[in-house]
Amino acid sequence: MGFISSLLLPHEVDFNAALRTQAHTSAVMVNDLYRACVNEDRGALESIAATAQQARDQKSANMAQLLDVFITPYDKESIYRMITQLDWIALSVRHFQLETEVYDIHSLSQYQPILAVLQEMVGLLEEGIGALPAKQLQFIAVGISQIRDRYDQVVELCATATAALLAQDDIKHIIRHKDMLVQLKEIAKRIHITANTLEDMAIKVV
């Protein structure tokens, strides 16, 4: 019967597991950024490039499966948005890491308050995606609300840090670190947008 079923029934893919894996990879990258900041760990920073490639491979594999499969636990458009937006989180972290190299920034300590909030945001997102299969909708809703609050916090912290930069006289220093703050805000925005897609998926499974 199992053999016959495999021939007759449409192919199914565990997209819940696939999305959790992708979300975890994004969380690892943000956590490595935070470790690089608080521990002055250049190894954690350098590892982001390899993890970014892993994230890209996961995105490509998940997208290929989405194009090939007939049965999905959520509508295909929602899964597509989640796959691409999780990839954007990984990309935005990778771009921040690239800027640290290009601008030759040796210490991330000044970004510690912002990175701490980003770490909380991506942790909440990973937990929310993990709670989706069990339809823990209240838990997901609380986490999404907290992500939105922390996004506002990141924007405020970046604005305050930018104002402090502009009060200085070293133009090169201002330009370098202003770009870094913009990229940190971009990471937060990508997490926030992904949380909106998670909310959409949660509503549809009710």
List pLDDT tens digits, range 35-44.
999 988 889 9
Number of domains in the chain: 1
Q: Is 72 within a domain?
A: yes
Gap between the Cα atoms of 42 and 31, Å rounded: 13
Residue 202: its pLDDT value, please?
94
Residue 110: its pLDDT value, please?
93
Number of other CB atoms surrounding residue 43 within 10 Å = 10
Residue 98: its pLDDT value, please?
95
Exposed / middle / buried, residue 16 (Cβ in 10 Å: 0-12, 13-18, 19+):
middle
Q: Domain range holding 183?
A: 14-204
Model pLDDT for residues 2-29, shown as the tens digit of each residue = 444 344 445 578 999 999 999 999 999 9
- The average confidence (pLDDT) of the chain is 92
Q: Is 164 within a domain?
A: yes
Gap between the Cα atoms of 90 and 104, Å rounded: 21
Residue 72, domain CATH: 1.20.58.220
List, for the chain, all residue ranges whose pLDDT scores fall below the cut of 50: 1-9
Q: Is 6 within a domain?
A: no
Number of other CB atoms surrounding residue 206 within 10 Å = 6
Residues 107 and 40 sit within 8 Å (Cβ to Cβ) = yes
Q: Is 169 within a domain?
A: yes
Q: Is 9 within a domain?
A: no
Residue 8: its pLDDT value, please?
40
Residue 1: its pLDDT value, please?
42
Q: Is 62 within a domain?
A: yes
Nearest CA-CA partner of 104 in 163, 45, 168, 28:
45
Q: Is 5 within a domain?
A: no
Q: Is 91 within a domain?
A: yes
